[in-house]
Chains A and B, each alone.
Chain A
């Protein structure tokens, strides 16, 4: 039996029928075509599937889609506006904070969510803030640096570099 689901995804109302046991991750990727959200481990450990639900990050691989009725969801696709990248995305590029890029959407959202909550995190706090995301390519130095640069306001709003 399918369930009717009403949610907001990237500011758009979504009205969709889902299987009762479907994961949010699958609905985003398969039904809505939002493939920026990735599946790594599928068990809540790697953070590749990170999305923002009602203002807080969550692993969409361990969220039941049915449970999202009435919720506000933001995915990585939400960030760039009119072809311009979000400062966090730009900073990841400038800092070479990605190689294969599979983990990047998750890291970017974790970084943004951390700065929303704590605009001035220490390096330790940044490490903690991205502790739910795993990268198998880069090592974490560049990623931390990328978040630090946004914290230090090296980017203006539209993503262009200040310096």
Chain B
């Protein structure tokens, strides 16, 4: 028999943490696991969905702090996110279905480390960091890239929980999110893209950020490709080059799977489309 706890505050929550803890941050994944026969007996199930401090978005010093149990729908509706990290609003809008967006949370999505997570590329776009608290109340921060080890595995220790996600405000950047899924609205992403661009007055690139997820075991930001683009103008040749480089890297990491091949022309089209959308 599982042991269910529903703390009202973070402090209370920390007291419940045991080595056998399982969190409910929205339940959209956990309940499916339960249905599949995942054994939760003898587990301490800690329900995080009734802790007001764990939900909401704060804006501080050029950063947003998104509390772990903020739902995808809350993010879609949040003005600060819309302004500072549009790509995240767009990404959350594509998550699952309305019903799933109403329950599923950003912290849950990060915690389960699903490669198909939609918010993930947008969070990484903005140098996302995970804020973690342990049973003793000690906090640490880790870059998302380091936090996610492989599908379903993170560096979160048994005595820890995710408190929030911190992202840089990319207010001045043009941003875009794009996803290709199996079934239109419900699909768990098979390929998702987040991009942000900041242009100089002379139409050269001042900063560019490119993240690809879902096709890869873990979502990846293409720092090397980004770096080479700075100072360049966006020409047809440059787009072609970027598409090729990204496709090559995606294939190299994902390995030649059956579904990989179609991705090269697809990636080129997606990049073109996103650039057009951002009007750069």
Contact = CB atoms under 8 A, between A and B. Distances in A.
A86 interface: no
A70 B6 CA distance: 12
Report which residue of A20, A62, A131 has the largest number of chain B beta carbons within 10 angstroms of its beta carbon: A62
Interface in B96-127: 96-100, 102-103
B102 A62 contact: no
Interface residues of A, number: 33
A42 B6 contact: no
Contacts of B49: 67
A3 interface: yes
A136 to B, nearest CB: 14
B31 interface: yes
Interface in A115-139: 127-129, 131-133
Nearest to B31: A62
A56 B103 CA distance: 9
22 contacts: A21-B4, A43-B32, A44-B100, A53-B102, A56-B73, A57-B102, A59-B103, A61-B31, A62-B27, A62-B31, A63-B27, A64-B24, A64-B31, A66-B4, A66-B6, A67-B47, A67-B49, A69-B6, A70-B50, A113-B98, A114-B98, A132-B185
Interface of A: 1, 3, 20-21, 23, 42-45, 47, 50, 53, 56-59, 61-64, 66-67, 69-70, 110, 113-114, 127-129, 131-133
Interface of B: 1-4, 6, 24, 27-28, 31-32, 34-35, 40, 45, 47, 49-50, 73, 96-100, 102-103, 184-186
